[in-house]
Chains A and B, each alone.
Chain A
């Protein structure tokens, strides 16, 4: 059913911390690994070892350079993981002619029922974020499922019941939780750190939030104690003085 639910009971999603992401792409690899073996059609590769490799991924990490307007400020490199944001007002869902794309009432996850998908690609056209890719081999639409087959999976140990990308992130830059609960880890992080929406002007109301990079600490000019520290010796004396003079007489020794 491609009409969107008015509200969902829970709003499961991710917080992605642009301050701590180191751009290692581990989330990309673990996502591909889990999702090619589990829920739905595998994520195919074309010419993986050939000249022009390409393939389906549900999560990709861009890197951006941000140059502040102040003249002497230095540019920053920011790594930027991007996957489906499980939008509340998901345009990808309403355009779908078959009902294959839907948003779940119970937890807000946006999914594709692959046996109904005709592979028309219109949902990918409607998504502003490039979060959907039509698999070149299976010819059905693939997208992030928020690891729906992990988070409720009682066969997995408790600590593994979160999306593969979150579980694997070595920098702890990815957090998973329920945004409908103001006390959840993700809601608190969003509130504390000013979590932001991507392309808010598109009106998609993304559930996933991005935490902006924190301002860098500026190194102070000198330690407060520096003026109190007198140099121990200004003129070399004794053996060191002799050594200094002797070495200075050598060619190239004076500077």
Chain B
């Protein structure tokens, strides 16, 4: 899949933003007044900024409101609704903390559930796609959720929570990579089943339908990007998980926590880039590619 910057930025930052909102809503930390304002500003910048970035890859963003209508069948529609609902409810909760120094626990809990639901719906947009076997596995939602909650805890300054959740996320990340590597082969989809000619013998793409490129190749086939996949995995794992875990294990200081947060974001951006670049869409088979 083409690793579009808009989608990488969207999934990374909105995941972190909604993760922060989750913990703020749960009430592990109830800042008030100006401090609360600062926390909520960061969370909203990431959550809303990510959502806005995601509209950049729409062909017709002016019609985006229509995307709230098909929640019965579409995970993308559900995501939109969950996101807006979470943002509205958490704005009420935040207003209580900032202006009245009063947490309304019920509002916070509802907001937290909606925030977690938003991240889950985002992950399901990818998980549901049978056409991308690497995404079509349970570690995908598990990875999105653990990263959002772990990163969110890190940004809310919850060292122990962040440490535990990032440790879990690191394990799931490993599973996602290793299991993901054989998903296409395990899916049983080959050029043979794609063309129905597999029963006759070995099928080889002989001539593509066009001399130039096209939308399908630009969007779904990204073989070049995988050349450095292993190095990037090392970088993503080091920055996104290992370094933050190490820094969190040291005696707490604000500087170390800030460093951990920066390293984590950089590592997760790399990991998200890989999430797209390494994902093979079965349509590539028709072109003799992956």
Contact = CB atoms under 8 A, between A and B. Distances in A.
Given A53-B212, A62-B205, A198 B66 contact: no
Given A52-B212, A64-B197, A202 B203 contact: no
A128 to B, nearest CB: 5
B197 A136 contact: no
B283 interface: yes
Contacts of B213: 52, 54
A97 B74 contact: yes
A125 B281 contact: yes
Contacts, number: 199
Interface string A212-238: 110000000000000000000000000
Contacts of A119: 58-60
Contacts of A127: 131, 283
B76 interface: yes
Given A117-B60, A199-B282, A98 B208 contact: no
A201 B189 contact: yes
B67 A120 contact: yes
Interface residues of B, number: 60
Given A56-B215, A140-B59, 5 more contacts: A64-B206, A66-B201, A95-B73, A118-B59, A138-B59
Top 5 closest pairs, chain A to chain B, by CB:
A119-B59, A139-B59, A60-B209, A97-B77, A68-B201
Interface of B: 1, 57-61, 63-64, 66-70, 72-77, 80, 125, 128-132, 187-189, 191, 193-197, 199-216, 219-220, 281-283, 286-287
29 contacts: A52-B213, A54-B212, A60-B210, A62-B207, A64-B195, A67-B201, A95-B74, A97-B66, A97-B74, A97-B77, A98-B67, A100-B66, A120-B57, A122-B125, A125-B131, A127-B283, A128-B189, A128-B283, A130-B216, A130-B283, A134-B59, A138-B59, A139-B59, A197-B196, A199-B193, A202-B189, A203-B130, A212-B199, A212-B200
